Amino acid sequence: MKVYFFTKRESKNDGLNEIAARVLKFFKDNGVLILSNLVERKGETAQLSFENMNGLIVEGSESVTEAGYLIALSLAQEKPILYLLPRGEVLPDQLRTLLENKKLKKFFNLQYYNQKNLENVLADFIEIIETGELRREAPTIKFTLRFTPRTDRYLNWQSKRTKLAKADYLRKMIDEKILSDQEYQGFLRRPRPVAKEDE
């Protein structure tokens, strides 16, 4: 898998520089070849093509005109885009139209991030590239579950290893089980009876 990451090259914002470093590290640690305007390679800028890329990530907190070109190039080739904005930032008006366009919004994925959820947002983007869809829905149902100390130790260990919060790790496990459960998938696909309208 190969993705391109774009952000402002020289930022006075140390927090943004740290975010950029975390994005690059996350993808490298997860076996994704990541190209970036932050890391120059011979001939890369002149011959940048999304034909062999699997996706584009743009950190958009410091608006840069080159990002518009990359987004257009990526959309033209129907590659998924992850547009990252820190929580509280406003999406530029010219990009808002992408969210309103039925066809383009399938490829343009706007995500607000903070220090805690950045890796989860990036993991979701890998899922979008691999499966063509975001399977993780926003959790809205509260559920209380008690664990033994042994299970809690295991979850803590997995949380550190995968860089996911314990709850996110458990949700991911359940999502994977849902997809691999053939009986349940068959149940979902079976035809439903059509309700007759009252005469």
162 and 85 share a domain?
no
> pTM, whole model, 2 decimals?
0.63
Domain carrying residue 82: 2-134
- The answer to whether residue 197 scores a pLDDT higher than 70 is no
Two structure tokens written together for 117? 């959820």
More confident residue, 63 or 102: 102
SS3 180: helix
Are 28 and 116 in the same domain?
yes
In sequence order, which residues have a C-beta less than 8 Å from that of residue 18 and are 6 or more positions away?
A: none
The alpha carbon of residue 111 and the mean position of all alpha carbons in its chain are separated, in whole angstroms, by: 8
pLDDT-wise least confident of 47-56, 67-76, 91-100, 105-114: 47-56
Confidence of residue 190 (pLDDT cuts 50, 70, 90): low
Q: What are phi and psi of 102, to 5 degrees?
A: -55, -40
Q: Give the pLDDT of residue 139.
A: 63
- Please state, in angstroms and rounded to a whole number, the distance separating the CA atoms of residues 28 and 22: 10
- Choose the weakest-confidence range: 39-53, 57-71, 109-123, 162-176: 39-53
Strands 81-86, 33-36: pairing is unpaired
Enumerate residues 6+ apart whose C-beta is below 8 A from 159: 165, 166, 169
Question: What tens digit of pLDDT does each residue of 17-71 get?
Answer: 888 899 999 998 888 888 888 876 554 444 566 778 889 999 988 766 778 888 9
CATH number at residue 64: 3.40.50.450
pLDDT at 138 > cutoff 70: no
Hey, what are 158's tokens?
Answer: 């997995």
Q: From CA 168, how far away is CA 36, in angstroms rounded?
A: 28
160 vs 50, residue with greater confidence = 160
89 and 31 within one domain = yes
Q: What is the pLDDT of residue 150?
A: 94
Statement to judge: residues 86 and 180 lie in one domain: no
Last residue of a domain, one of 90, 111, 134: 134
In whole angstroms, how far apart are CA 86 and each of 5, 19, 118, 124, 187? 16, 10, 10, 17, 40
Mean pLDDT, all residues of the chain: 80
Predicted local distance difference test score (pLDDT) of residue 137? 54
User: What is the amino acid identity at position 102?
Assistant: K
